[in-house]
Homo-oligomer: A and B are copies of this chain.
Amino acid sequence: MSIELEPVIRTSLSKQIADQIESAIVDGSLKANDRLPTEEEMTQRFNVSRATIREAMKRLAAKKLIRSRRGPAGGTFINALNAAELSDNLITATTLFVSMNDISIEEISSTRKEMETLCCRLACQNRTLEDLEKLEIALVHQSDVHISAEAFCAADVNFHRTLADASHNRMLSFVMYCLIESLQPVANMLSYHFRERSVILNQHRRLIDAVQARNTNLATAIMTEQINYLERLQQDAQSAHANRHD
Chain B residues in 8 Å Cβ range of A48: none
Q: Which of B59, B94, B118 contacts A114 (CB 8 A)?
A: B118
A230 at the interface (CB under 8 A from B): no
Which of A's residues lie within 8 Å of B, judged by CB?
A: 14-15, 18, 22, 25-26, 28, 32, 51, 54-56, 58-63, 65, 80-83, 86, 89-90, 92-101, 103, 107-108, 110-112, 114-115, 118, 169-172, 174-175, 178-179, 182
Top 8 nearest A-B pairs (CB, nearest first) are A59-B62, A62-B62, A111-B171, A55-B58, A107-B171, A111-B172, A58-B58, A86-B93
Of the candidates B25, B83, B98, B100, the one whose C-beta lies within 8 Å of that of A171 is B98
A90 partner residues in chain B, CB cutoff 8 A = 89-90, 93
Assembled-state Cα–Cα distance A62/B14 (Å): 11
Residue from the set A18, A59, A108 with the largest chain B CB neighbour count within 10 Å:
A59
Q: Is the CB of A14 within 8 A of B58?
A: yes
Q: A101-B170, A179-B175 are in contact. Are A86 and B81 (CB under 8 A)?
A: no
Q: Are A175 and B51 in contact, with the CB atoms below 8 A?
A: no
Shortest C-beta distance, A178 to chain B (Å), equals: 7
Known: A60-B62, A90-B93. Is A182-B178 also a contact (CB below 8 A)? no
The answer to whether B26 and A95 have CB atoms under 8 Å apart is: yes
Residue in contact with A92 in the complex, picked from B63, B103, B175, B178, CB distance below 8 Å:
B63
* A86-B82 in contact (CB<8A): no
A221 to chain B minimum Cβ distance, whole angstroms, is: 18
Closest B residue to A89 by beta carbon equals: B93
Nearest B residue to A31 via CB reads B100
Q: Given the known A-B contacts A96-B81, A172-B107, are A62 and B58 also in contact in the complex, defined by CB atoms under 8 Å?
A: yes
Tell me the minimal C-beta distance from A63 to chain B in angstroms: 6
Q: For the complex, what is the distance from the CA of A22 to the CA of B89, rounded to whole Å?
A: 12
Interface centre among A25, A100, A170, by most chain B C-beta atoms within 10 angstroms, is: A100
Most chain-B CB neighbours within 10 Å: which of A26, A56, A118, A170? A170
Q: Chain B residues near A114 (CB, 8 Å)?
A: 118, 172
